[in-house]
Chains A and B, each alone.
Chain A
Amino acid sequence: MTAVVAPAAAEPRRPARRAGVLDWLVTTDHKHIGILYMATTLGFFLVAGAIALVMRAQLAQPGLHIVERQAYNQLFTLHGTAMIFLVIAPFALGLANYLLPLHIGAADLAFPRMNALTYWLLLAGGLTIFSGLLLSTGAAAAGWTMYAPLSDFENTPGPGVDLWIMGVLMISASSIMTAINFLTTVMLFRAPGMTMMRLPVFVWNIIVTSLIILMAFPPLAVAMAELFIDRRLGGHFFDASHGGSAILYQHVFWFFGHPEVYVMILPYFGVVTQVVSTFSRRPVFGYLGMVLASFAIAGLSMGVWAHHMFTTGAVNNPFFSIMSFLIAVPTGIKYFNWIGTMWQGALVFPTAMLFAIGFMLNFLLGGVTGVMVASPPLDYHVEDTYFLVTHFHYTLAGGSMFALLAALYFWFPKITGRLLSERLGMLSFWLTFVGYNITFIPLFLVGLLGMPRRVVTYLPLPGWPELNLTSTAGAGVLALGIALTMWNLVVSWSRGAPAGDDPWGGGTLEWATSSPPPERNFHALPPIRSDRPAFDMRMPQGTPGGQARARAG
Chain B
Amino acid sequence: MRMDPGWVRRAGVVCRRYASAPLLAVAGLGLSGCASPLPGAATVQGQRIAHLWAVFFLSAAGVAGAVYGLILWCIVRYRRRSDGLPPQYRDNIPVEIMYTAVPVGIVAFLFALTYGTEIHVDRVAPRPDVTINVTAFKWSWLFDYPGTGITVAGTPDYPPIAMVPVGRTVRIVLTSTDVVHAFYIPSFLYKRDATPGLVQRFDLEIRRPGEYLGECVEFCGFDHTRMRFWLRAVPPAQFDRWIEQGPRVVHQRVRYTAP
Which residues of B in the span 61-102 have a Cβ within 8 Å of any Cβ on A?
63-64, 67-68, 70-71, 74-75, 78-82, 84-92, 95-96, 99-100
**Does B197 contact A240, Cβ atoms closer than 8 Å?**
yes
Bound state CA distance, A314 and B38, in angstroms? 27
A89 at the interface (CB under 8 A from B): no
CB pair B191–A384 under 8 Å, yes or no, is yes
Nearest residue (CB) in B for A550 is B89
- Is there contact, CB below 8 Å, between A322 and B215? no
Given A246-B196, A369-B60, A380-B49, does the pair A347, B221 have CB atoms closer than 8 Å? no
Return A340 CB to nearest CB of chain B, in Å: 7
CA distance in complex: A318, B119 (Å): 10
A residues 471-528 near B (Cβ < 8 Å) are none
Residues of B within 8 A of A280 (CB): 78, 86
A133 within 8 A of B: no
Question: Of the 9-residue stretches A111-119, A214-222, A357-365, which lies at the interface with chain B?
Answer: A357-365
Is the CB–CB distance between A343 and B78 below 8 Å?
Answer: yes
Residues in A with CB closer than 8 Å to B224 are: 73, 454-455
A460 touches B189 (CB 8 A): no
B20 → chain A, closest Cβ, in Å? 14
Can you report 17 residue pairs joining A to B where beta carbons are below 8 Å apart? A69-B222, A282-B86, A286-B96, A289-B96, A311-B182, A333-B100, A339-B70, A346-B80, A349-B79, A361-B68, A375-B56, A376-B118, A377-B48, A384-B184, A457-B258, A458-B225, A553-B88
Q: How far is the CB of A314 from chain B (nearest CB, A)?
A: 6
Q: Kindly provide the distance from the CB of B236 to the nearest chain A CB, expressed in whole angstroms.
A: 26
Cβ contact within 8 Å between A150 and B180: yes
Contact assessment for A147 and B180 in the assembled complex, using a CB-CB cutoff below 8 Å: yes
A265 interfacial contact with B, CB 8 Å: no
9-residue interface stretch from A223-231, A403-411, A445-453? A445-453
B→A interface (CB under 8 Å): 36-39, 46, 48-49, 52-53, 56-57, 59-60, 63-64, 67-68, 70-71, 74-75, 78-82, 84-92, 95-96, 99-100, 103-104, 107, 110-111, 114-115, 117-118, 121-122, 138, 178-180, 182, 184, 186-187, 189-193, 195-198, 200, 202, 213, 215-225, 228, 256, 258-259
A10 within 8 A of B: no
Residues of chain A touching chain B, judged by Cβ–Cβ distance below 8 Å, are 62-64, 69-70, 73, 141-143, 147, 149-150, 155-156, 240-241, 244-247, 280-289, 311-314, 317-318, 321-322, 325-326, 328-329, 332-333, 335-336, 338-340, 342-349, 357, 360-361, 364-365, 368-369, 371-372, 375-378, 380-381, 383-385, 445, 448-450, 452-461, 463, 539, 543, 545-546, 549-553
Max count, chain B CB within 10 A of own CB: residue among A338, A381, A455: A381
A138–B110 CA distance with the chains assembled, in angstroms = 45
Residues of B near A325 (CB, < 8 A) are 107, 110-111
| A322 cross-chain contacts in B, Cβ below 8 A | 111
Partner of A288, one of B91, B118, B223: B91
Q: What residues of chain A lie closer than 8 Å to B178, measured between beta carbons?
A: 149, 155
B258 touches A383 (CB 8 A): no
A458–B96 Cα gap in the complex (Å)?
A: 48
Residues on the A chain within 8 Å of B107, using CB: 325-326, 328-329, 371
With known contacts A142-B221, A345-B86, A445–B215 Cβ distance under 8 A: no
- Which B residues are in CB contact (< 8 Å) with A283? 88, 90
List of A residues within 8 angstroms of B110 by Cβ: 325, 371, 375
A149 to B180, Cβ gap below 8 A?
yes
Interchain nearest-CB distance for A382 vs B (Å) = 9
Q: Is the beta-carbon distance between B114 and A377 smaller than 8 angstroms?
A: yes
Q: A143-B219, A377-B49 are in contact. Are A551 and B89 (CB under 8 A)?
A: yes
| Cβ of B213 to closest chain A Cβ, rounded Å | 7
Report the Cα distance A261→B227, complex, angstroms.
30
- From the candidates B90, B186, B198, name the one contacting A450 in the complex (CB within 8 A): B186
**Which residues of chain A are near B99, meaning CB under 8 Å?**
332-333, 336
CA distance A63 to B38 in the complex (A): 25
Tell me whether A372 and B184 are in contact in the complex, defined as CB-CB below 8 angstroms, given that A155-B179, A312-B193, A317-B118 are known contacts.
Answer: no
A347 x B193 contact (CB < 8 A):
no
B49: A residues at CB distance < 8 A = 377-378, 380-381
A280-B78, A313-B198, A340-B92 known; A62 vs B71 contact (CB < 8 Å) = no
Note all chain B residues with C-beta closer than 8 A to A288.
91
Q: Which residues of B contact A155 (CB under 8 A)?
A: 138, 178-179, 221
Given A62-B258, A342-B74, A378-B49, A73-B88 contact (CB < 8 Å)? no
| Pairwise interchain contact A285-B90, C-beta atoms closer than 8 A | yes
Cα-based distance from A409 to B39 in the complex (angstroms): 43
Residues of B within 8 Å of A549, CB to CB, are: 87-89
* Docked CA distance A133–B3 (Å): 79
Partner of B196, one of A69, A240, A348, A365: A240
Is A380's CB under 8 angstroms from B89's CB?
Answer: no
A329 adjacent to B104 (CB under 8 Å): yes
Contact A314 B88 (CB under 8 A): no
**Which residues of the other chain, B, contact A149 by a CB distance below 8 angstroms?**
178-180, 196
- Residues of B within 8 Å of A328, CB to CB, are 103, 107
Question: Is A346's CB under 8 angstroms from B81's CB?
Answer: yes
Q: Is the CB of A378 within 8 A of B225?
A: no
Q: Which chain A residues border B198 with CB–CB below 8 Å?
A: 240, 246-247, 312-314
Return B162 CB to nearest CB of chain A, in Å.
Answer: 18
Asked whether B86 lies within 8 Å of A365 as measured between CB atoms, the reply is: no
Q: Which residues of A contact B121 (CB under 8 A)?
A: 377, 380
B182 to chain A, nearest CB (A): 6
If A246-B197, A364-B68 touch, does A63 touch B259 (CB 8 Å cutoff)?
yes
> Which B residues lie within 8 Å of A551 (CB)?
89
Contacting residues, chain B, for A245 (C-beta < 8 A): 197
Partner of B75, one of A311, A347, A449: A347
Q: In the bound complex, do residue A377 and residue B118 qualify as a contact, i.e. CB atoms below 8 Å apart?
A: yes
Contacts of A377 in B (CB 8 A): 48-49, 52, 114, 117-118, 121
